[in-house]
Amino acid sequence: MAVRTVAYLGMSAALTLAVLCGVAVPGVAHAQMLKCENDWLYDYDEMALRAAALRMLPKSVHLVVTGACRNPDWSYGFIETRKNVTPEGVQQWYEFTCRRQRQQWKCDPPEFKQLIALSVVVSSVSHQVELSFDKESSLERARILAARAIEVYFDATSRLPSCGVSRFEEGYLLRTQSSQSPLPSGEKAIRIKVSNEAKDSVTFDDVNVSIDFRRNDTAAGYEAVCWWQLVVVT
């Protein structure tokens, strides 16, 4: 089975991983723990963190320190901007991480986030979805890809192979994964992330599975190509 490694530490916003001394950061699941002496910063250190973070953003932007991880020799600070809501109900904001070795704080580039809660109907079944998508994706495109991914994941006849295998029979089928790791149902929302940074892909955060798509001229608009099992490392 092909796997895609997701390295949170050192990546700009996706990292941010994580779970801070037991406090989960919204939108990030199944991340490992950072070992923190404290989950707070001294006042002077937080002021230095905020000054470094503000240099990454327009002066008019309001930022929030959502968490911290302090140790004697290094620290992390986790930053979000205040959320704006579009007329369609999409929450939009920036997230990024700053780190300090000894005295000086340095910050990763801010990552633009979009999130909306909605219902997606697939094969006459309504699914509650928490849908996040990148800056390059429109709401409509993200909704279509999310519906296609749910359709593929729940398809008991699917023969979608894992990515990166040289021969079809060498890959595990997605239907095997879906039977072992069912997605949330009923009132519990499925957490889905849509991206087209390098290719069209949909990630199910609840089960750490990503499906790659390619665009076509069919009514569905997107054809599933293969799937990955995500492995989170720190």
- pLDDT score recorded for residue 219: 61
- pLDDT score recorded for residue 115: 98
- pLDDT score recorded for residue 4: 62
Nearest to 90 by CA among 147, 24, 28, 137: 137
Average pLDDT per 10 consecutive residues for the chain, totaling 234 residues: 50 34 33 76 95 88 93 94 95 96 92 96 94 92 95 86 69 69 87 88 93 80 88 59
Residues forming a β-bridge with 116: 131
- pLDDT score recorded for residue 166: 58
Whole-model pTM: value is 0.74
Q: Which amino acid belongs to residue 106?
A: K
Asked if 212 and 163 touch (Cβ cutoff 8 Å), the reply is yes
